[in-house]
């Protein structure tokens, strides 16, 4: 895989929104959570958002939000056609190193149930469950990831 990870640019907002909405991870009952949601240029400037690209094609991205309060992995998406190529693992490891470089000791992850196995495999630990609220009609998992030793 000849890919690189870079900080997202405000001009990436449309591409990131498209990748997110095309993801099969949020189809069926989970689709409602993304309804009318768009990654904005302002969000890209405010949060730690990074993309993994191959050539000029964005294969995935993550958003580390609230870095000064309760750091949270807010978004993490990998294009369906890039699944199984370690894109998610590469992005996750980069997120851990980014958090560590910012002095963050722990990252909160609130995820839909199908994502739990990936996050646990990457080192996160389930610490709770968030009851259905708003558009989320299902319980979401709350996980914690220690980034104290990420290098």
The per-residue pLDDT for range 63-101, each reduced to its tens digit, is: 999 999 999 999 999 999 999 999 999 999 999 999 999
State the pLDDT at residue 33: 83
Strands across the sheet containing 48-54 = 4-7, 48-54, 57-65, 72-78, 106-111, 140-146, 125-130
Which domains are seen in the chain, by residue range?
A: 4-146 (3.40.630.30)
Write out the DSSP string of 66-124.
-TTSS-EEEEEEE-GGGTTTTHHHHHHHHHHHHHHHTT--EEEEEE-GGGHHHHHHTT-
At residue 11, the 3 state secondary structure works out as: helix
């Amino acid at each position: 895989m000849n890919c690189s990870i870079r900080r997202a640019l405000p001009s990436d907002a449309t591409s990131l929104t498209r990748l997110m909405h095309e993801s099969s991870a949020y189809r069926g009952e989970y689709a409602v959570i993304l309804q009318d949601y768009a990654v904005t240029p302002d969000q890209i400037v405010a949060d730690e958002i990074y993309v993994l690209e191959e050539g000029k094609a964005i294969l995935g991205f993550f958003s580390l939000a609230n870095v000064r309060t309760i750091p949270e992995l807010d978004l993490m998406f990998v294009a369906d056609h890039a699944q199984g190529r370690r894109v998610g693992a590469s992005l996750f490891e980069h997120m851990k190193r980014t958090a560590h470089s910012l002095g963050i000791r722990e990252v909160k992850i609130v995820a839909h149930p199908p994502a739990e196995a990936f996050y646990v495999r990457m080192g996160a630990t389930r610490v709770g469950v968030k009851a259905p609220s708003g558009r989320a009609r299902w319980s979401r998992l709350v996980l914690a990831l220690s980034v104290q030793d990420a290098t």
